[in-house]
Chain A
Amino acid sequence: MIVKLLIKNSLRHKLRTTLTVLGIGVAVGAFGLLRTVITSWYASVEVAAADRLIARQAVSFIFPLPYAYRDKIEKVPGVEKVTYLNWFQGVYIDKDQFFPRMACDANTLFDVYPEFIVSKEELEAFKKERNACVLGQDIANKYGLKIGDMMNIDGDIYPGQWQFVVRAIYKPRTPTVDGTQMFFHWEYLDERMKQDAPVRAGQVGWYAVKIKNPDDAAMISEQIDALFANSSSETKTETEKAFQNSFLKAYSAIITAINIMAILIIGVILLVLANTMIMSARERSSEYAVMKTLGFTGKHLFGLVTGESILIGIIGGVAGYFLTIFFVNGFSAVVPKNYFPVFVLEDITMIQEFGFAIIVGLIAGIIPVYHTIKTSIIDGFRHIG
């Protein structure tokens, strides 16, 4: 009965209600897009495995560690497997084509990173060839690269011309796993360094360590760091999650700015809805006066006005939900995959959207309700337009 009245009321000004729903919908959509940008940013932290440690140079990530550390780390009790990587970068095609390019240990990489799925045959082919590389599925698709294709990369951190042949393409296990990376043999890099720049040979960027029991992470990290304390390259070992988090912390200012934007958008939604509700209530002043005369109390009027406001808010939220899907798809189609390797609309974002739609509906009803209840019956009847 009440719901019917609410629906009837909200349909009295069809154009206005439609516009309000649209306005809320678009703003909710923008909110959803911004929140998705942030959750995507955090995606790397979410997927970080609990049983993986990262050991890097203590002063900064950009300094290498000796290759000789590998055996020592492997002997630490509780360590299951050790692999190592080296940030290579370089320029592929031109400077704007950015995706991670790293040297790796072909024999252990996929044991430590089981979320990258490679077929057995491709993996064997990759292992056999010195200048072979593995590409993430997204990157292979983007550049139309197939098994057997050549990739020419102009080195920057490691000067010179580098040529790789694609021998394997990995698939991310879940949609939140990064499918935009390129890996090649560390030996290929190291041999070149031995010839061109002997001081830079025998070095790796960081070690990724798979441990048997995630509960031992802190203890094992300490033991690894203790091995190399007071050497010329001290290590800092932490869980992959902590490591990824420290990367994100560096961008905290941008993330805060985006969050503030998202909050201001909710402000716009509130203004649009409040505006509509104030107008409706003003037009219906004399009706509310009639209801008061008939004995309806403030409680009833409160239910009537905020109920309508929340109803419109929810319908706007539903419209916004569909628009979010549209925006998110559009955004990931336009923005190069490598900016956001993972761009997925999360459930939490949708829940937030509906939550805010309802809260905004409630708040937007407050001013008109206050006015309606305050207005004396006589003034209500006297009201025009």
Chain B
Amino acid sequence: MPAVPFQYMLGSFKRRRLTMIITMGGFALVIFVYTAVLMMSHGVEKTLATGGSEQNVVVSRKSSQGEISSIIDGDAVNVILTLPQIAKDANGRTLATAEPVVVINLYKKDDGGMSNVTIRGVDETAFKVRAHVKITDGKMFAPGSRDIVVGKAVNSGFAGTSIGERIKIANDYWTIVGVMSAEGSAFESEIWGDSKQLQAAFNRQNTISTMTFRMTDQASIDEIKKAFESDRRLVQYEPKTEIKFYKEQSELLAAFLKALGTAVTFIFSFGAIIGAVITMYTAVANRTTEIGTLRALGFRRRSVLFSFLIESVFLALIGGAGGVALAAFLQFFSISTINFNSFAELSFAFSLSPEIIINAMFFSVFMGVFGGFFPSIRAARLKIVDALRNE
């Protein structure tokens, strides 16, 4: 490691405060956008992933892209229920829930826009299979009634969804009796009602959309898959662990956000890099005499090179850290949009992860190195005599 004139670097920071701050500001903006986009994408994945358990299996029709395009008929449900790998509760009842899933239109509170909200038909077993879903306000709907409970995100994001209000679904009014929370997962963006009532209301006879059950043992997923493949009555359906199922549901939206965001940040990061190049070139030009002095004092060419390069990376890192810090505040916000896969509203929070921070910092260093590279080379190439003679 060559000797680097750190003292000198700090001194020059102080003298050129304004341009330094502006350059860092440029880096900060780029990193802010980059981080925010990754946080959105991660938020989508996290929201859908926390809904799933390794212990649970979701059965859907092969090649269906979301729950609403999946159809399982009642006979197949009865066959699935006979699988020995399905866990039972203390009373000997199978921990399986067969659910009709549809979407209905509700109006958003903020801009009055209309969006699709998932409505899922369940019975009390659904709360046992998904233990993280709890009624936090009001009460659970009574079996066989036309009462419903709404997820927290629905309750806060859509008009007319408070307890006691009624929603018109399939030509009948359904009363909201409770609000449920589900540890921030996608179920908070759903409405749950009695499955038999919903089947009847939507004229679904005995068909359902998906079925979810608890396995006796996590390892039995392979046996279950085999059972589905070998049974003629089940071959058109596909069992997946809940984790995997929900991960697939997040793929399109998360990938879209990531691709668009990353592409755009890369393009406009060049703006910030060029800003840094300008700052550094000017720094080199303004300090020509000083560079000559440093060289005359015995600092090597590479010391000068490193000094300028480090200065640039330092600027980028501080700017980048500022950008990440700013983006971290976004964690207090959640946004809600249509998920491409399920075709229904999904509310998710911006979510920061160590991986995102590391990515953002690497990106900062990359911008700093690129911004400082050519000016540093110019500084290192200066001849002592010429530099000292400057002006």
List chain A positions with a Cβ less than 8 A from chain B. Answer: 15-16, 19-20, 22-24, 26-27, 29-31, 33-34, 37, 59-63, 89, 91, 95, 154-157, 159, 199, 230-232, 234, 246, 249-254, 257-258, 261, 264-265, 267-269, 271-272, 274-276, 278-279, 327, 331, 339, 367, 385
Contact = CB atoms under 8 A, between A and B. Distances in A.
Contact of A16 (B69, B113, B257, B282): B282
Contact of A253 (B25, B32, B102, B335): B335
A33 B274 contact: no
B271 A95 contact: no
B278 interface: yes
Given A60-B103, A258-B260, A268-B30, A23 B270 contact: yes
Nearest to B347: A253
Interface centre among A29, A154, A250, A257 (most CB of B within 10 A): A250
B268 interface: yes
A257 B40 contact: yes
- Among all A-B residue pairs, the 7 with the closest Cβ atoms: A249-B113, A23-B274, A27-B271, A30-B268, A253-B337, A272-B275, A30-B267
A251 B63 CA distance: 25
B264 interface: yes
Given A63-B102, A265-B271, 17 more contacts: A19-B277, A23-B271, A23-B275, A34-B264, A60-B104, A155-B63, A156-B61, A157-B71, A249-B112, A249-B113, A257-B335, A258-B260, A264-B32, A267-B29, A275-B26, A276-B278, A278-B22
Contacts of B275: 23, 268, 271-272, 275
B278 A23 contact: yes
B102 A250 contact: no
B111 A249 contact: yes
B205 interface: yes
B114 A232 contact: no
A101 B288 CA distance: 67
Nearest to A335: B259
Contact of A264 (B29, B105, B338, B343): B29
A253 B278 CA distance: 36
A251 B29 CA distance: 25
B171 interface: yes
A368 to B, nearest CB: 10
A159 B70 CA distance: 9
Contacts of A30: 264, 267-268, 271
A124 B88 CA distance: 60
Contacts of A19: 274, 277-278, 281
Interface string B264-300: 1001101111110111011000100000000000000
Nearest to B257: A254
B1 to A, nearest CB: 30
Contact of B270 (A26, A246, A249): A26
A29 B267 contact: yes
A26 B267 contact: yes
Given A26-B267, A249-B115, A279 B282 contact: yes
B116 A37 contact: no
B176 interface: no
Contact of A385 (B37, B171, B272, B286): B286
23 contacts: A15-B281, A19-B278, A23-B271, A26-B274, A33-B264, A59-B170, A60-B102, A60-B104, A62-B103, A62-B116, A95-B65, A159-B71, A252-B337, A254-B257, A254-B337, A257-B37, A261-B33, A268-B26, A268-B271, A268-B272, A269-B271, A271-B23, A271-B29
B8 to A, nearest CB: 15
A112 B298 CA distance: 83
A59 B23 CA distance: 53
A16 B275 CA distance: 10
A272 B26 contact: yes
A177 to B, nearest CB: 23
Nearest to A331: B263
Contact of A274 (B22, B115, B236, B270): B22
A156 B113 contact: no
A326 B114 CA distance: 36
B18 interface: yes
Contacts of B22: 271, 274-275, 278
A27 B266 CA distance: 10
B116 A156 contact: no
B108 interface: yes
B188 interface: no
B99 interface: no
Interface of B: 18-19, 22-23, 25-26, 29-30, 32-33, 36-37, 40, 61, 63-65, 68-71, 102-105, 108, 111-116, 168-171, 202-203, 205, 236, 256-257, 260-261, 263-264, 267-268, 270-275, 277-279, 281-282, 286, 335-338, 343, 345
A250 B116 contact: yes
A144 B136 CA distance: 55
A174 to B, nearest CB: 26
Contacts of A278: 18-19, 22
A251 B23 contact: no
Contacts of A22: 270, 274
A252 to B, nearest CB: 6
Given A26-B270, A91-B63, A246-B114, A20 B264 contact: no
B73 to A, nearest CB: 9
Contact of A271 (B26, B71, B102): B26
A156 B268 contact: no
Contact of A261 (B104, B264, B337): B264
Nearest to A29: B267
A17 to B, nearest CB: 9
A351 B100 CA distance: 50
Contacts of B29: 264, 267-268, 271
Given A23-B275, A230-B171, A275 B23 contact: yes
Nearest to B282: A279
A339 to B, nearest CB: 8
A188 to B, nearest CB: 19
A234 B171 contact: yes
Contacts of A62: 68, 102-103, 116, 343
Contact of A157 (B69, B264, B270): B69
A267 B32 CA distance: 12
Contact of B105 (A23, A29, A60): A60
B277 to A, nearest CB: 6
Nearest to A262: B264
A157 to B, nearest CB: 5
Contacts of B61: 156, 159
A365 B200 CA distance: 69
Given A252-B113, A252-B337, A33 B267 contact: yes
